[in-house]
Structure 1
Amino acid sequence: MCTQYNCVNPGLSNRVPVAQPGWNVPASVAPSGGSATWVDAAGGEVPPNSVPGGFDNEQVYVARARHEGALLPGKLVPSHGVCYVPWGGAEHGKPEYQVLVGCEPAWVPSVGGQVPDGALPSGETEDGEPLFVGRAKHEGTLSVGKVQASHAVCYIPYGGQEIGYQEYEVLVAK
């Protein structure tokens, strides 16, 4: 289980990535209070106090999963039994994942890879670039994905694809 930056689950990163040139990361990446925690889950399980992130024919939740050496923010769709993450131009369903619990999210509008102060670091690319939880409206849904500052977009997983949006919202944990 991971609590904020302290992971005790093997295979999940316990380090906060160091910003590199071209990465547009916030000055302060610590959550602004609360007790944001990532809880292990699988098969569509929704732990108590899970953070809702959007809607796609049902409530979806803020989650993350490992894929190809990266730890990727995405969306848990309970009825599908997986967390969907965007990577490499495609949507990937992961039956084992972590769900964000125990915080009150504020969704801050942003554009072009910008990440507001107080955004919760929620993963990293296979190269160590920090990723943050973002969401965007798409075809009547509100879909949760990853903000990747070096690409200047929020990527969402939807309909088998990884779709980039230059206008999105970023999760700031209260």
Structure 2
Amino acid sequence: MTPFSLFSTSVCLHLLILSDFIESPIDWLSGLARITDKVNNIARPSTGYDQTRLVHSSSSNDMDGHNWLHFSHGAIPQAAVVAGHDSDGDTIYIGRAFYCNDMLPAKIIPNKGKAYVAYANQEVELENYEVLSGSNYEWLPAENGDVPDGAVRVGQNVDGETLYAGRGYHSGSLTVGKVHPSHGCLYIPYDSEEVKIFAYEVLSRRMEAR
């Protein structure tokens, strides 16, 4: 018996079995609808499924034990670290993002759906980023490229220089940017520009948490 004959025989047997239960074309359609509905229910998430899970892809702990979570389009975790506020009052969170071979400290503004980094005299908007999550952080004063003990190493530039997250006041905002030690300043992304600030605060780990 050929494979085709075996297949035909199998189909016929199944049809004969079904014919005992289905007596009309209407029954056939009803049965098909029930099967389709079951398949859809298997594929469909249950009511109340947390859609924010689809935005959050993964997490990573860096070498210093900080928890960075991958998000996009303004989404943040519940334990995101608050960094400041925009000039319109929107809350800013601390993040970081990869851009032009640099891992850069970033300001994340959920209400605007973006992360922003300072790079090459510009404020650059990014949709994908990492958010710092956790507690036991504080902001300590510094100036002229210096950072305090316990400063969080957030990223580095293409030359391997460590970059830190700093914040400073500018035009009614308390904005996060990158402390670039060899440049002697904090750069913040603001209003499409990269703004220099020489007296600022640096994201640091609290003494008891080090």
Shorter-chain TM-score bucket reads 0.7 to 0.9
Partner secondary structure for residue 99 of structure 1? strand
Match of 1:163 in 2: 195
Question: What is the letter of the counterpart of residue 151 of structure 1?
Answer: H
For residues 29-51 of structure 1, give each alpha carbon's deviation from its aligned partner in whole angstroms, at most 9, with x where no partner exists: x5xxxx63110000100112000
Question: What is the letter of the counterpart of residue 184 of structure 2?
Answer: A
Give the deviation of 1:104 after TM superposition: 2.6
Aligned-pair identity (%): 37
Q: Which residue, 45, 55, 58 being the options, matches 2:75? A: 45
Question: What is the letter of the counterpart of residue 51 of structure 1?
Answer: V
Distance across 2 between alignment mates of 1:4 and 1:48: 19
Q: Which residue, 56, 74, 82 being the options, matches 2:114? A: 82
Q: TM-score with structure 2 length normalisation?
A: 0.67
Structure with bigger strand share is 1
For residues 75-99 of structure 1, give each alpha carbon's deviation from its aligned partner in whole angstroms, at most 9, with x where no partner exists: 0011221110001000011100000
Matched, 1:72 2:118: no
Q: Mapping of 1:81-120 within 5 angstroms?
A: 81-120=113-152
Distance across 1 between alignment mates of 2:184 and 2:156: 15
Tell me the number of residue pairs that the alignment of Structure 1 and Structure 2 aligns.
146
Give the deviation of 1:61 after TM superposition: 0.0
Distance across 2 between alignment mates of 1:77 and 1:59: 6
Q: Is the 8 A contact 1:131 1:147 kept in 2?
A: yes
Give the deviation of 1:149 after TM superposition: 0.1
Matched, 1:55 2:113: no
Give the deviation of 1:55 after TM superposition: 0.3
Question: What is the letter of the counterpart of residue 82 of structure 1?
Answer: K
Q: TM-score with structure 1 length normalisation?
A: 0.81
Give the deviation of 1:2 after TM superposition: 2.3
Give the deviation of 1:68 after TM superposition: 0.4
Distance across 2 between alignment mates of 1:59 and 1:80: 10
Matched, 1:133 2:191: no
Distance across 2 between alignment mates of 1:87 and 1:45: 23
Compare relative contact order (CA 8 Å, sep 6+) and give the higher one, 1 or 2. Answer: 1
Distance across 2 between alignment mates of 1:97 and 1:86: 14
Question: What is the letter of the counterpart of residue 170 of structure 1?
Answer: V
**RMSD of aligned Cα (Å):** 1.1
Give the deviation of 1:4 after TM superposition: 2.9
Q: Is the 8 A contact 1:51 1:104 kept in 2?
A: no
Matched, 1:3 2:33: no
Distance across 2 between alignment mates of 1:153 and 1:2: 29
Distance across 1 between alignment mates of 2:121 and 2:60: 28
Which runs of 5 or more residues in structure 2 are unaligned? 1-58
Structure with bigger helix share is 2
Question: What is the letter of the counterpart of residue 197 of structure 2?
Answer: Y
Question: What is the letter of the counterpart of residue 55 of structure 1?
Answer: H
